[in-house]
A and B are shown apart, each in its own frame.
Chain A
């Protein structure tokens, strides 16, 4: 294999990628009754994609990614309520606003230790939650913003009660952003990100502009999280304080980790697996499914994240 081929190998599309997308896009037709859940899973997957960029590619531990999800959701809701019900412009506005917030917030992740970053990301989400709660003349306080009417997608496809259009809307967005992120992480820009993740000091020493890279990837990820929030608002017609909650940040981190960090499809698989686990467990024990998720996490870490996904390596020596 020549050097060029080996460099291009991870970039080239694998045979299963188009198959996966075909299966995903066929799902709402094959299981029409599950369309709302498929929609929800696609939104989570999009959200997980944004965290994976930050966590898996830039190596920034963030417990407050819900800040951008919630911000995008509220911007989209306010836009739909006061300006225009059009989802396309609303989506662009929400992405722009969240990316701008991410740009601002990226200043907090440049310095300090993992603990500091954990705290400031957590704090940012908490501050936005407080703001959304207290500015009730604008955000509806604890009631959130409800009963939004969203115009049809492309002026044709009405968001129906069956969730079919909604699921295609969210999956279309997901596909778009996965393709975009694919381009980005496989570019030289993406390679510098991985260098920063692996060793920040070394990256700095070989002349990678670490701060500029971190700022841009954080803002991009914030924009994608905002898109997920906006998609949630457009397909459900409401938003509430829950969008900012710590649970949401924690859940999305679980998805990324379950699916695999630093792998764009990790978020998608993670979201699917997480939704299935949650569904099954909460049917068995509606109140205590948190216990099992906790146990799963503990076992996952003790066994080793990469080994859990490869059962055939469990009995090999570490």
Chain B
């Protein structure tokens, strides 16, 4: 029972790191970016390739995954995404699905469609039993890393100068620009940072979620659920939504395996019927 809760929390934390960049993109730029999972996949593959081909240790490959995905995000933001901010949502959906299709086929072409396996270092394998609670070391590691990231993220958004500029740009781009904030730079760095987080999440999650070229399509729905249910205006919303989703998914698969993903989708639809804009909506912000 406790073990399931623990695994669910680890899974939820992972989902949060994967999805929080998407929450910011959607909330900030009002851009429906279905290709977010592709950045996560890039991060995962950077880790796998760095470890297999270059012999980089696991811990050192994680920052690589972050930087790689962030750089890719920055380049794509500047070249492809920026012209689309003002286009209708349908265009954004089509565009980002197109990117996903390309990413899936390209990875398949260059690396192959087999599932990739991450060799964890010895100290991350195995598990310790504390009473009735079985703590997988890697799960604990994920929770620790993600918790630290969450705190840093919250600090950046709430306390730093950059955070204020970001929040100002979210609320009203034109006014923010008029106040001398370079909205383009704020957007670019936020997008890159969000993509980097997705890459890091993909690298961390490769062992838990599995990594193959269909990753962006398989987990796209999960990221979107986190964002849609959590709301896009804070990071507490997506965090709680991700934890809820992670625990519900793990518990559902354990207790009623026959129902599979059914529970998650039903939960999502019920929540969205009840609160169409997500569970945690800041009052007064733009819809």
A binds B: yes
Residues of A at under 8 Å CB distance from B?
55, 61, 63, 107-108, 111-116, 118-120, 122-124, 126-127, 130-131, 133-134, 246, 250, 253-254, 257, 261, 287-291, 293-298, 300-302, 305
Specify the chain B residue showing the minimal Cβ separation from A294. B101
Q: Is B102 an interface residue (CB 8 A)?
A: yes
In the bound complex, residues from chain A placing their C-beta under 8 Å from that of B87 are 301
Q: Which residues of chain B come closer than 8 Å to A291, judged between CB atoms?
A: 101-102, 105-106, 109
Give the CA-CA distance A61 to B278 in the complex, in Å: 18
* Closest Cβ–Cβ distance, residue B73 to chain A (whole Å): 16
**Contacts A116-B272, A130-B260, A253-B94 supplied; 7 other A-B pairs, CB < 8 Å:** A112-B276, A130-B259, A133-B260, A287-B108, A290-B104, A300-B98, A305-B91
28 contacts between A and B (CB under 8 A): A61-B90, A108-B269, A108-B272, A112-B272, A113-B277, A115-B228, A116-B276, A120-B268, A122-B221, A122-B224, A123-B221, A127-B269, A257-B94, A288-B105, A288-B109, A289-B105, A290-B102, A290-B104, A291-B101, A293-B98, A294-B100, A294-B102, A297-B97, A298-B80, A301-B95, A302-B80, A302-B83, A302-B84
| Shortest Cβ gap from B284 to chain A (Å) | 16
Complex Cα gap A173–B204 (Å): 51
Expressed in whole angstroms, the Cα–Cα distance for A295 and B100 within the complex equals 10
Q: How large is the interface on B (under 10, 10 to 19, 20 to 34, 35 or more residues)?
A: 35 or more
Instruction: Pick the most buried of B83, B228, B268: most chain A CB atoms within 10 A of its CB.
Output: B228
Interface contacts (Cβ under 8 Å), in number, total: 130
Q: What are the nearest 7 A-B pairs in CB distance?
A: A112-B276, A297-B98, A294-B101, A291-B105, A294-B102, A111-B276, A301-B95
List residues of B whose CB falls within 8 A of some A CB: 26, 32, 80, 83-84, 87, 89-95, 97-106, 108-109, 217, 221, 224-225, 227-228, 258-262, 265-266, 268-269, 272-273, 276-278, 287
Given A120-B272, A130-B265, A297 contacting B95 (CB threshold 8 A): yes
| Known contacts A250-B97, A253-B94, A298-B102; is-contact A123 B269 (Cβ 8 Å) | yes
Instruction: Given A122-B221, A287-B108, A297-B94, answer yes or no on A108-B262 (Cβ-Cβ < 8 Å).
Output: no
Do B217 and A115 touch across chains, with their CB atoms under 8 A apart? Answer: no
Name the B residues within 8 Å of A301 (CB-CB). Answer: 84, 87, 91-92, 94-95, 98
Q: Is the CB of B95 within 8 A of A293?
A: no
Q: A257 contacts which chain B residues (CB < 8 A)?
A: 90, 94
CB distance from A127 to the nearest CB of B (A): 5
Chain B contact residues, majority secondary structure: helix
Give every chain B residue within 8 A of A133 (Cβ-Cβ): 260
Contact in complex: A119, B228 (CB < 8 Å): yes
Docked CA distance A288–B105 (Å)? 6
Contact of A120 with B269 at beta-carbon distance under 8 Å, contacts A112-B276, A297-B98, A298-B102 already known:
yes
Is the Cβ of B269 less than 8 Å from the Cβ of A124? yes
Kindly report which residue of chain A lies nearest to residue B100, judged by CB atoms.
Answer: A294
Chain B nearest CB: distance from A104 CB in Å? 12
* Closest-CB distance, B162 to chain A (whole angstroms): 25
